[in-house]
């Protein structure tokens, strides 16, 4: 029987030596698809849409509510909270460097940023609009958006769900955090990492973490293809399974209905991971040191001592990059009236 891809990744985690680690710096520009080239005007429009709570059923929740670009790109909550205080079962992943993900969402159900941007606005526990048509209808009632969409996309009726998603995705592709201490180190600045961080970098490779968390975004992918998924926990039976309810969510199985994908999740980026606690798909672990220990045990079958966990955590802290300034725009108004929510 041919081994599954998930099995191969698990075996690599145990066998891949440190010298095989391919340390790559993060690019400063994300590639854009041919059908959605990045322009300054489109990015500016996308930023407004990303920040506008009027895209939600109650006028209270924006994309930024769960993916705060003034912080780590998430909401630092165990699970995201949408309209009327509703919560889902998964933690909001960071939007920073999401342009380098080959797939979006924890279960990889969206292939592109454009596709992903259409999901939350109509998700019942997120922004709660009844349909994308309702979102479009609301946007068309805002004069400023009529003008901006026409300038960016042209056409007789430029406000469409596809164009909304394209604008948001274009903005998200600018959310890149290069030039971290790690990036400077791999480019030749050997003083960019402390001695502890360098020890942690070596231990990160020696333990086998690089088998999944590889590439410039430490997510096992280079921005193309089908993404990298891993069963979690891959080595079941530890006390962590019950303590943190790790085996409750069926993960990618909900998308594919394939048994091999049961409890499989997209390998998340480790960029800026020091800023995005709590950790894992269910936000169950509240400290980076503990997350490192959990990963070592449940994915690699290894018990890490406190010293090793702290060294690896110190290295992960060196993945915090430079955040581009976010100048908050004025949102287009509805002069003399408002929406009835």
* Structural Rg of the chain based on CA atoms: 21
Q: DSSP per residue over 230-257, as a string?
A: EESSSS--SHHHHHTTTTSS-BTHHHH-
104 forms bridges with which residues in the sheet?
110
CA angle 95, 97, 101 (to 5 degrees): 95
H helix intervals, 173-305? 181-186, 195-206, 239-243, 253-256, 288-300
Alpha carbon distance 218, 96 (integer Å): 13
| H and E: helices and strands count for the chain | 13, 2
114 catalytic residue (yes or no): no
Residue-wise over 28-39: b if at least 16 C-beta within 10 A, else e? eebebeeebebe
Catalytic residue (choose from 114, 115, 126, 157): 126
Q: Do residues 20 and 210 touch, judged by C-beta distance below 8 A?
A: yes
Alpha carbon distance 288, 317 (integer Å): 9
Q: At what angle do helices 288-300 and 5-15 cross, to 10 degrees?
A: 110
Q: Do residues 236 and 298 touch, judged by C-beta distance below 8 A?
A: yes
The CA distances from residue 119 to 56, 126, 132, 163, 267, in Å, are 12, 9, 9, 14, 20
128: left (phi over 0), alpha (psi -120 to 50) or beta: left
Give catalytic residue positions: 126
């Amino acid at each position: 029987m041919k081994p599954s891809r998930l099995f191969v990744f698990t075996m690599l985690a145990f066998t891949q030596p440190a010298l095989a680690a391919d340390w790559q710096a993060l690019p400063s520009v994300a590639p854009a698809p041919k059908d959605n080239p990045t322009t300054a005007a489109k990015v500016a429009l996308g930023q407004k849409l990303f920040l506008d709570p009027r895209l939600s059923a109650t006028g209270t929740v924006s994309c930024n509510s769960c993916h705060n670009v003034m912080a780590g790109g998430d909401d630092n909550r165990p699970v995201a909270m949408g309209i009327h205080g509703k919560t889902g079962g998964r933690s909001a992943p960071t939007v920073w460097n999401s342009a380098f993900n080959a797939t979006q969402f924890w279960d990889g159900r969206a292939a592109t940023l454009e596709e992903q941007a259409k999901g939350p606005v109509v998700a019942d526990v997120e922004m709660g609009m009844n349909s994308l048509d309702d979102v479009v209808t609301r946007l068309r009632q805002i004069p400023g958006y009529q003008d901006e969409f026409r300038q960016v996309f042209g056409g007789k009726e430029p406000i469409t769900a596809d164009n909304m998603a394209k604008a948001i995705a274009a903005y998200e592709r600018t959310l890149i955090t290069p030039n971290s201490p790690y990036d400077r180190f791999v480019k030749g600045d050997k003083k960019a990492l402390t001695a502890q961080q360098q020890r942690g970098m070596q231990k990160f490779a020696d333990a086998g973490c690089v088998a999944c968390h590889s590439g410039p975004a430490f997510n096992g992918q280079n921005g193309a293809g089908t993404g990298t998924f891993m069963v979690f926990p891959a080595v079941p039976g530890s006390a962590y399974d019950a303590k943190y309810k790790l085996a409750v969510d069926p993960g990618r199985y909900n998308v594919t209905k394939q048994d091999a994908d049961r409890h499989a999740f997209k390998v998340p980026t480790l960029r800026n991971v020091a800023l995005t606690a709590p950790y894992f798909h269910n936000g169950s672990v509240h400290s980076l040191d503990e997350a490192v220990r959990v990963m070592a045990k449940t994915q690699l079958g290894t018990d890490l001592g406190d010293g090793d966990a702290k060294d690896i955590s110190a290295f992960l802290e060196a993945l915090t990059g430079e955040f581009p300034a976010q100048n908050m725009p004025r949102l287009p108004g509805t002069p003399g009236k408002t929406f009835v929510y």
